[in-house]
Structure 1
Amino acid sequence: MYDHILLASDGTEASTNAESHAISLAAEHGAALHVLYVVDEDVYTAYSGDEYVDESEGPEHGLEETGQETLARIQADAEASGVDATTTLKHGRPAESVIETADEADVDLLVLGTKRRPAEYRSLLGSITDKVLRLSERPAVVVKTEVEE
Structure 2
Amino acid sequence: MFENVLLATGGEAASDRATDHAIELAAHHDATLHVLYVVDSDVYDAYSGDEYVDGREGPEHGLEEVGEEAIAAVSERAADRGVDVEGHIEHGQPPETIVEFAREAGVDLVVLGTRRRPDEYRSLLGSVTDRVLRLAEMPVTVVKTPVEP
TM-score by length of 2: 0.94
Q: What's the counterpart of residue 119 of structure 1? A: 119
Offset of 1:57 from its aligned partner? 3.8
Q: What's the counterpart of residue 29 of structure 1? A: 29
Q: What's the counterpart of residue 133 of structure 1? A: 133
Letter of the structure 1 residue corresponding to residue 3 of structure 2 = D
Distance 1:28 1:38 in 2: 26
Distance 1:135 1:116 in 2: 21
Q: 1:124 to 1:108 in 2, by over 3 A?
A: same
Q: What's the counterpart of residue 146 of structure 2? A: 146
2:6–2:34 contact (8 Å) kept in structure 1: yes
Residue 52 of structure 2: SS of its match in structure 1? coil
User: In the TM superposition, what are the counterparts of 1:73-88 in structure 2 within 5 Å?
Assistant: 73-88=73-88
Letter of the structure 2 residue corresponding to residue 114 of structure 1 = T
TM-score by length of 1: 0.94
2:53–2:62 contact (8 Å) kept in structure 1: no
Percent identical among aligned pairs is: 62
2:51–2:57 contact (8 Å) kept in structure 1: no
Distance 1:64 1:85 in 2: 18
| Root mean square deviation of aligned Cα | 1.6
Offset of 1:6 from its aligned partner? 0.6
Distance 1:85 1:43 in 2: 27
Structure 1 stretches of at least 4 aligned residues deviating more than 6 Å after TM superposition: none
Q: What's the counterpart of residue 3 of structure 1? A: 3
2:54–2:62 contact (8 Å) kept in structure 1: no
Cα deviation, 1:4-32, whole Å, max 9, x if unaligned, reads 10110001111111011100110011111
Q: What's the counterpart of residue 48 of structure 1? A: 48
2:5–2:32 contact (8 Å) kept in structure 1: yes
Segments of structure 1 that go 5 or more residues without pairing to the other structure are: none
